[in-house]
Amino acid sequence: MSDEPAIEVARLAKSYRTGAVQLPVLQGVDFQVAPGEFVSIQGESGCGKTTFLNVIGGLETPDSGYVKWNGVGLDGLNRNALARERARFIGIVFQSYYLVPEIDVLQNVLMAMRIAQQSSAKDSVAAAKTMLERVGLGDRGGQMPATLSGGERQRVAIARALLTRPRLILADEPTGNLDERTGNAIMDLLESLCRETQTALVLVTHNAEHAARADRQLTLTKGCFDA
Amino acid sequence: MPWYAYIALRHLFPKGKRLPFFTFMSVTGVALGAMLLVIVISVFNGFGHELRKVIAETSGDLKLHNGRIVEDYEKEIATLLADPRVEAAAPAAFGFVMLQSRRSPIFPPVQGIDLNEEEKVVPIRKYIYDGSLDDLDDDSVLISSGIANTLRIRVGDEVDIYTPLMIEKLKQDEILLPRQMRVAGVFETGFNKIDESLVLTSLRTMQDLYGLGEGVHAIKIKLAPGIDADQAAIDLQDGFDPPLRVSSWIDSNADFLAIIEFEKRMMFFLLLFIVIVGSFSIATSLLTAVVRKTREIGLFAAMGASSSQIAACFCLQGFAVGVVGTAIGFVIGFWILSMRDGITDALFWIIGGKEQSMEFYFFSRLPVHIETTDLIVIAVFAVVIATLAGLVPAMKAGRLRPAEALRNE
């Protein structure tokens, strides 16, 4: 594995225009995550946590500053090249799971690998089944997402994010829609899988207990991380 | 299968769920258009095909002519018969006469036929429904059913025949005397153009009436079964020097066949609008799907899908609707064509007028001929239109920004 930081961000700024007003959200953020490191980010609602995650995930373009994934700068990459790099380096877990309702659980997990075109169909299916076993849903591959509980859906989303063996997982309040017990179980799973596979994890959460599990805890206030 | 093709198929035909209303309506629109195109174009082809068959049967497959008078026709016939593709050849002379009966004149085309050879080329005997071919001699004529009906002539009646040659003689102050001829028979071929107005007489009589001497105007040629007439015309031409020309009887009726071809193209153009209207349903449904699935699109982008892959996912849905709709339309179309006798009988039972319709169109059943080329053209048009309908929603989906799509409520 490379010694490059899984992600490196410097002087990151992002603002939104609402009518005539320019609203700054991120103001010169510097940030770095080492390979396999677990970093949590907390902050009040609307402080820009999701925007930060979107920008470092290449889903939004910063106004200034730079983002590097595994030493590769995102500046100058066109939309398709950026998408290819994202498929290779980044896995994203959302609060709302975002499973595709028309396909079964196995195919949902496989989707990330199919998009990333990482391995043959046969190998992919085997890897997806193994990953489903790892998240405790080995016997649910043929079920449709609508038949799963919220916790099970999030497990599927975690399996999908980890299947492509990304360098970094960005998790945006992955337990936000779950009860405490299920949320804790999901966090256990996500943390253990990331540590086991040496995948860096950036967790945005409102839950102080979950944040406390991280190697490093950061709080976003007024567009910057508190010192 | 690429992921975007897989997702496109699953959007249209979700696993373990009922067929979505959008899929049903879009596929139905394309299927209706394709079905109507197959039925109508096949019936038009059927008319054209039957006509060609009737023309070839009533006139022979080819004719050898020089635009004037073929003097040594027996030598030319011998040359033709030496070719294994030629089954039979018969001389003929053509012209127009004034035929008068009970002071009512008409001006039908006349044809002089060799009584011995004609039957080898044209099955004339089977078309005679009153009188007999055996009664035809140098002083008699066979008349078509149209002439018999117009002038109310029966077999055995006498008719007066005037030829252009007689009018020429009138200019030289000679007395104009018509040739009195007996009606030996009445025929009906089923080809309206012939049945409406044609007089047949012996070749010798025609040579006499038109002053042809021993010459004829053309040699009718019948080809062996399975021989392509157009190609045979080209090949046989090599055996004759200009001005002798081998041409197809289809060429002589090209104007008639061209009308059918023109009507067929117009119907194709008009019915294509059904597919176009169907494609609007595809476009609006897919646009709705893009709005409904905005977050899903954002998810694919977040997982590393390119804009073109996302666009392809929606464009392929239009393509798949086109393919499935066309296939269903073809199957229903073929089924309806195979049931056409029952359907037309039922229609005539309701609205009446079967006999009149059959008399007008001169076919005893609705003719159908399925051309592979036409089917390919219909399929290509239907699929291309359906795919184009998916293009606008696809471009909209491809342009969505991942973060905005994920934020969509």
pLDDT band at B323 (very low <50, low <70, confident <90, very high): very high
Cα–Cα dist B246/B70, whole Å: 13
Output the pLDDT for position B263: 80
pLDDT band at B85 (very low <50, low <70, confident <90, very high): confident
Contacting B residues, span 129-168, partner chain A, CB-CB under 8 Å: none
Output the pLDDT for position B328: 94
Residues of A in contact with B397 (CB under 8 A): none
A115 and B299: CB-CB below 8 Å?
no
Cα–Cα dist A79/A69, whole Å: 15
Least-confidence region, from A169-178, B226-235, B246-255, B365-374: B246-255
Extract the tokens encoding B226. Answer: 């399975």
Q: Which residue has the tokens 């359907």?
A: B343
Output the pLDDT for position B120: 82
Sign (positive/negative) of CA torsion B144, B145, B150, B151?
positive
Q: Give the mean pLDDT of chain B.
A: 82
Cα–Cα dist B1/B187, whole Å: 65
B305 and A83: CB-CB below 8 Å?
yes
pLDDT band at B376 (very low <50, low <70, confident <90, very high): very high
Cα–Cα dist B232/B210, whole Å: 31
* Burial grade of B332 (CB within 10 A; 0-12, 13-18, 19 or more): middle
| Residue B364 pLDDT exceeds 70 | no
Q: How far is CA A157 from CA A111, B18, B352, in A?
A: 11, 26, 67
Cα–Cα dist B409/B406, whole Å: 8
Mean pLDDT of B177-196: 82
DSSP letter for A42, please.
E
Cα angle B21, B27, B28 (rounded to 5 degrees) comes to 85
A116 and B17: CB-CB below 8 Å?
no
Q: Over pLDDT 70: what percentage of chain A?
A: 97
| Residue B332 pLDDT exceeds 90 | yes
Q: How many residues does chain B have?
A: 409
CA A147 to chain B, closest CA, distance in angstroms equals 12
- Minimal Cβ distance to A102: which of B10, B299, B402: B10
Asked if B360 has any chain A CB less than 8 Å from its own CB, the reply is: no
Say how many C-beta atoms besides its own lie within 10 A of residue B272's C-beta: 17
Mean pLDDT of A171-177: 81
Output the pLDDT for position B284: 81
pLDDT band at B333 (very low <50, low <70, confident <90, very high): very high
Mean pLDDT of B182-187: 88
| Residue B362 pLDDT exceeds 60 | no
Mean pLDDT of A157-165: 84
Residues of A in contact with B10 (CB under 8 A): 100, 102-103, 107
Query: If you compute the radius of gyration of chain A from its CA atoms, what whole number of angstroms results?
Result: 17
SS3 labels along B375-402: HHHHHHHHHHHHHHHHHHHHHHHHHCCH
A115 and B308: CB-CB below 8 Å?
no
pLDDT band at A151 (very low <50, low <70, confident <90, very high): confident
Which chain B residue is nearest to residue A99, measuring alpha carbons? B296
Q: What is the DSSP string of B320-349?
A: HHHHHHHHHHHHHHHHHHHTHHHHHHHHHH
Domain boundaries, chain A: 35-60+87-225
Mean pLDDT of B121-126: 82
- Minimal Cβ distance to B302: which of A79, A92, A107: A92
Q: State the fold for domain A35-60+87-225.
A: Rossmann fold (3.40.50)
Q: What are phi and psi of A58, to 5 degrees?
A: 75, 15
Residues of A in contact with B306 (CB under 8 A): 79-80, 83-84
> Of B292, B244, B402, which Cα lies nearest the Cα of B21?
B292
Output the pLDDT for position B360: 59
Cα–Cα dist B133/B183, whole Å: 11
Which chain A residue is nearest to residue B14, measuring alpha carbons? A102
Residues of B in contact with A115 (CB under 8 A): 3, 300, 303-305, 309
Residues of B in contact with A140 (CB under 8 A): none
Are B219 and B76 in contact, with CB atoms under 8 Å apart?
A: yes
Cα–Cα dist B91/A48, whole Å: 98
Cα–Cα dist B403/A88, whole Å: 19
CA A188 to chain B, closest CA, distance in angstroms equals 23
> Mutation test of the interface with chain A: which of B9, B15, B303, choosing the one with the most A Cβ atoms within 10 A?
B303
Residues of B in contact with A84 (CB under 8 A): 304, 306
> Which residues of B188-290 form beta strands (DSSP E)?
199-202, 216-223, 245-248
* β pairing state of A38-42 and A21-33: unpaired
Mean pLDDT of A122-150: 84
DSSP letter for B97, please.
-
Give the SS3 label for residue B149.
Answer: helix
Output the pLDDT for position A173: 83
Which chain A residue is nearest to residue B402, measuring alpha carbons? A59
Asked if A34 has any chain B CB less than 8 Å from its own CB, the reply is: no
Cis ω before B243 (30° cut-off from 0): yes
| Residue A126 pLDDT exceeds 80 | yes
Q: Give the mean pLDDT of chain A.
A: 83
pLDDT digits (tens, 9 = 90+) for B137-153: 888 888 888 888 888 88
Asked if A16 has any chain B CB less than 8 Å from its own CB, the reply is: no
Residue A67, Ramachandran bin (φ over 0: left; ψ between -120 and 50: alpha; else beta): beta
Return the higher-pLDDT residue of B280 and B112: B112
CA A3 to chain B, closest CA, distance in angstroms equals 24
CA A50 to chain B, closest CA, distance in angstroms equals 10
Output the pLDDT for position B27: 87
Sign (positive/negative) of CA torsion B115, B120, B122, B125?
positive
Exposure class string for B273-291: b at 16+ Cβ within 10 A, else e: ebbbebbebbbbbbbebbe
CA A10 to chain B, closest CA, distance in angstroms equals 21
DSSP letter for A224, please.
E
Output the pLDDT for position A159: 84
Sign (positive/negative) of CA torsion B5, B11, B17, B18?
negative
Q: Which residue has the tokens 């990333």?
A: A116
Amino acid found at B314: F
Cα–Cα dist A180/A195, whole Å: 22
Residues of A in contact with B15 (CB under 8 A): 102-104, 144
Amino acid found at B364: S
Mean pLDDT of B285-300: 81
> Of B284, B280, B310, B282, which Cα lies nearest the Cα of B295?
B310
pLDDT band at B356 (very low <50, low <70, confident <90, very high): low
Output the pLDDT for position B363: 58
ipTM: 0.83
Are A8 and A68 in contact, with CB atoms under 8 Å apart?
A: yes
Are B236 and B86 in contact, with CB atoms under 8 Å apart?
A: yes
Element (H, E) at A24: strand A21-33
Q: How many residues does chain A have?
A: 227
Return the higher-pLDDT residue of A121 and A64: A64
